[in-house]
Structure 1
Amino acid sequence: MPQPHITVIGGGFAGLTAAVTAAETGAKVTVYEAHHTLGGRARTAEGPYKTNEGPHALYSGGPHWTWLRQRNLLGPLAPIPPLEAARLRLHHKGALRRTPPFAMLKLLRRTSRQAPVDVDFMTWATEQAGEEGALAAAHYSAVALFHHDPGSLSAAFVQERLRRATKLPPEAHYPRGGWASVIDRMAARAWNLGVRMETLSRVDTLPQDGPVIVATSLDSARRLLRDDSLTWTSGRTALLDVAVRTRRGDAFAVSDLDAPGWIERFTAQDRTLAPAGEQLVQGQIPIAPHESRADGIARAEHLLDLAFDGWRERVTWRSEATANGRTGAVDLPGTSWRDRPAIDRGDGVYLAGDQVAAPGVLSEVSFNSALEAVTLALRIRERLDLKHA
């Protein structure tokens, strides 16, 4: 039977995954993107300083990694030089350290007990490793969930992200040139498969000709579908990007164990992100609802003071931003990814994105939900490489 025409609203990672997957089955696909460029949250800034809205890393442990590699969409990767990796520092009890507190290591063992879904991480981890180790582990996990209070979230949710973030060898890989290089290759593949892509095209009314996959933020989907049930808890993060003149001895990354926060020198692994002789550093500081961006920026600057000697006099460029509700879903005690807004919304409408009912860590949720949406939209009996955790 002829395949239907599928409309994808949103040209970010989820939308392009859905478009490519559907087109590979022979379906006709149109993508509408409100912005003038594709990419969504995976956009990389244009100009000499190639920043992302959040980290540049792509985890290799999920199914999206295999999917991208099979289609030659990953492109060249920027490995972390061993000498740079050795410059990871931990901010604990007001000072920079090279090793985590011993109690925290108990929670990183692969043989440690599986955390429960219905208990908060701080309560469960304190029983396993004591309060100091639990607090340090909770704060370290913020690099993979961007929430101001990881200890209050479901223990199972935090444990999965903590294990993935501390896995050896590291799962985090860096596409050379930032996420934009991956998005460009995905868009090229979609184009070659016949996908029609319309940028600067905001959709206010759902089309009636075939299934629709809404691959936008949950806030945008709620407005478009006029469905107030489309809500889920997310994080709020202050982002500080600075370019500084190169100086030997700068840290590669700093994880704050006294409070949630992470600073990383992205040019340690990818020199293409800033002009020669400069380093690009990003601070990602989760902030509570009552805190301002300035509060988060102040904490980022404090970490820079500790790890980047004289950075204020070396600054050549600076940018500040707030990622509000754009850091993916977080699960409270008693909930898991299965409790998030369903992908199938009925009447031929499907959701894809990082706050819907699909498994995975960070961008893996967008990928898995996109494949599931295509599976449902095309009524495919066999799942499309979707691995449920």
Structure 2
Amino acid sequence: MQRIHVIGGGLAGFTAAITAAESGVRVTLHEAHHTPGGRARTAEGRYLTNEGPHALYRRGPHWAWLERRGLLGAVAAVPPLEGTRLRFRLGGTLRRVPPLALLRLARRGAEHAPVDVDFRTWATGQVGEEAALVASHYSAVALYHHDPGTLSAAFVQERLHRAAALPPEARYPVGGWAQVIDRMAARAWNLGVRVETASRVDAAGLADLSRQGPVVVATSLDSARALLGDSSLVWDSGRTALIDLALRTRRGDAFAVSDLDAPGWIERFSAQDRTLAPAGQQLVQGQFPLAPDEPRSVGIARAEEVLDLGFPGWRERVEWRREATSSGRTGAVDRPGTTWRDRPAIDRGDGVYLAGDQVAAPGLLSEVSFNSGMEAALLATGATETHRTRTGRTRRTDRTDRTATAG
């Protein structure tokens, strides 16, 4: 069969490359940077930070896929004691428990929420206006959006339900997400995938690759739009201020603080993985969503207010600090009346397929990248019913993997 080319070495790209190679297809993966990873790239140095707070949801489709292939590696859960230190800012003060109405609402599945009504309107009818606003702010932990209440009720409720699940679904790859990417890269290499780093593909290069066989474009939607020259490749995403801090350790600091007065979240990631910071220090990361016209300073000011409450004396304990803005790189958000099926299609025609966190695939955040990467690879390899019914063994394997992507 012709060689498949995958453009982008993040989670979507490696998922696509591995899926295609497991079908016996020759694959080349092109990564523009010297190291793969995309948004899952972990910084090198004393502080192992990701691009914003990252977590792997235990019930997500990529959890089972990675685990079956031995790619999951060591993961950390929130220690029981630390879990009791989850705090909530409400009314300008720190609370140990959220409003009961928020918990009641979070227990309901997304099937109870309508697609064509905004979340705040629907939630107000369920638990009242005040609790609906609080729930909207809390859901930003999995949305990175400045006003989740304006989004589709079904879309937000799915994220609220999973983000507030007990026991928590969130797990953290020990050593950062780069460890997962490294294992995926090794798997791809062992399957015969040719991985070319510092290999930036432009529009002319894409045309050349397309003549050689199918191409999976596993980049951000902005990059894909420029690469394909397709102005239709647009979808709403979030915009958020990011803050990373290394603080000298102090007993009694919160594990995490959810801002219920406005969307925002601060978490002490070294609580569950001590390898992320040197001994005697703790790594704290936060994200505070910004409106389209708000400068980063607004989000950072809110972050500092939350830090004052949950991490007393933090200013005198700072060993290292970094700030950034993430725009259009936080996954797709669905407006009322839309679902993931309305996002840019994976099959772009002429043997070109799209993967990433803003395309037409289900899931939360990185799960969309995984699902779209797998689907793009199956389409690119011709893994339709004809391919999947060649042998009984192939049929069983593919059915298992596609079932895992249904969520």
Indicate conservation of the 8 Å contact 1:30/1:197, yes or no.
yes
Task: Please tell me whether residue 170 in structure 1 is matched to residue 168 in structure 2.
Answer: yes
The residue identity in structure 2 corresponding to 1:232 is: W
Identity score, percent: 73
Indicate conservation of the 8 Å contact 1:106/1:128, yes or no.
no
The residue identity in structure 1 corresponding to 2:197 is: T
Q: Where does residue 74 of structure 2 map in the other structure?
A: 76
Unpaired runs of 5+ residues, structure 1, are none
- Superposed CA deviations along residues 251-299 of structure 1, whole A, max 9, x for unmatched, are 0000011100000000000000000000000111010001011111111
Alignment of 1:55-94 (within 5 A): 55-94=53-92
Alignment of 1:88-167 (within 5 A): 88-110=86-108, 114-167=112-165
Indicate conservation of the 8 Å contact 1:104/1:132, yes or no.
no
The residue identity in structure 2 corresponding to 1:241 is: D
Q: Where does residue 360 of structure 2 map in the other structure?
A: 357
Alignment equivalent of 1:278, drawn from 273, 276, 281: 281
Q: Which stretch shifts more, 75-84 or 149-158?
A: 75-84
Shift of 1:169: 1.5
Indicate conservation of the 8 Å contact 2:217/2:355, yes or no.
yes
Indicate conservation of the 8 Å contact 2:152/2:336, yes or no.
yes
Indicate conservation of the 8 Å contact 1:60/1:173, yes or no.
yes
Give the secondary structure class of the aligned counterpart of 1:157.
Answer: helix
Q: Where does residue 212 of structure 2 map in the other structure?
A: 209
The residue identity in structure 1 corresponding to 2:148 is: P
Indicate conservation of the 8 Å contact 1:234/1:327, yes or no.
yes
Q: Where does residue 36 of structure 1 map in the other structure?
A: 34
Q: Where does residue 344 of structure 2 map in the other structure?
A: 341
Alignment equivalent of 1:239, drawn from 218, 239, 242: 242
Task: Please tell me whether residue 327 in structure 1 is matched to residue 330 in structure 2.
Answer: yes
Q: Where does residue 253 of structure 2 map in the other structure?
A: 250
Unpaired runs of 5+ residues, structure 2, are 389-397
- Superposed CA deviations along residues 222-278 of structure 1, whole A, max 9, x for unmatched, are 000000000000000100000000000000000011100000000000000000000
Q: Where does residue 391 of structure 2 map in the other structure?
A: none
Give the secondary structure class of the aligned counterpart of 2:175.
Answer: coil
CA distance in structure 2 between the aligned counterparts of 1:158 and 1:21, rounded to whole angstroms: 30
CA distance in structure 1 between the aligned counterparts of 2:183 and 2:101, rounded to whole angstroms: 44
CA distance in structure 1 between the aligned counterparts of 2:107 and 2:229, rounded to whole angstroms: 45
CA distance in structure 2 between the aligned counterparts of 1:61 and 1:70, rounded to whole angstroms: 14
CA distance in structure 2 between the aligned counterparts of 1:85 and 1:348, rounded to whole angstroms: 48
CA distance in structure 2 between the aligned counterparts of 1:254 and 1:363, rounded to whole angstroms: 23
Q: Give RMSD over aligned pairs.
A: 1.1
Task: Please tell me whether residue 53 in structure 1 is matched to residue 64 in structure 2.
Answer: no
CA 1:319 to 1:156, structure 2 compared with 1: closer, same or farther past 3 Å?
same
Indicate conservation of the 8 Å contact 1:255/1:262, yes or no.
yes
Q: Where does residue 2 of structure 2 map in the other structure?
A: 4
- Superposed CA deviations along residues 126-182 of structure 1, whole A, max 9, x for unmatched, are 000001110111110000111000000000000000001011111100110010110
Give the secondary structure class of the aligned counterpart of 2:357.
Answer: coil
CA distance in structure 1 between the aligned counterparts of 2:47 and 2:130, rounded to whole angstroms: 38
Q: Where does residue 315 of structure 2 map in the other structure?
A: 312
Q: Where does residue 270 of structure 2 map in the other structure?
A: 267
Q: Where does residue 233 of structure 2 map in the other structure?
A: 230
Shift of 1:105: 2.3
Shift of 1:113: 6.7
Q: Where does residue 393 of structure 2 map in the other structure?
A: none
Q: Where does residue 292 of structure 1 map in the other structure?
A: 295
The alignment's TM-score, normalised by the length of structure 2, stands at 0.93
The residue identity in structure 1 corresponding to 2:173 is: P
Q: Where does residue 182 of structure 2 map in the other structure?
A: 184
Moved over 3 A (4+): 110-113
Shift of 1:112: 8.6
CA distance in structure 2 between the aligned counterparts of 1:376 and 1:48, rounded to whole angstroms: 42
The alignment's TM-score, normalised by the length of structure 1, stands at 0.98
CA distance in structure 2 between the aligned counterparts of 1:112 and 1:95, rounded to whole angstroms: 30
CA distance in structure 2 between the aligned counterparts of 1:133 and 1:106, rounded to whole angstroms: 10
Give the secondary structure class of the aligned counterpart of 2:282.
Answer: strand
Shift of 1:213: 0.1
Shift of 1:309: 0.8
The residue identity in structure 1 corresponding to 2:292 is: P
CA 1:161 to 1:112, structure 2 compared with 1: closer, same or farther past 3 Å?
closer
Give the secondary structure class of the aligned counterpart of 1:55.
Answer: coil
Shift of 1:63: 1.4
Give the secondary structure class of the aligned counterpart of 2:76.
Answer: coil
State how many pairs are aligned.
Answer: 387
- Superposed CA deviations along residues 52-111 of structure 1, whole A, max 9, x for unmatched, are 012231011121100000011111112221111100001111111011112222312247
The residue identity in structure 1 corresponding to 2:22 is: E
Give the secondary structure class of the aligned counterpart of 2:284.
Answer: strand
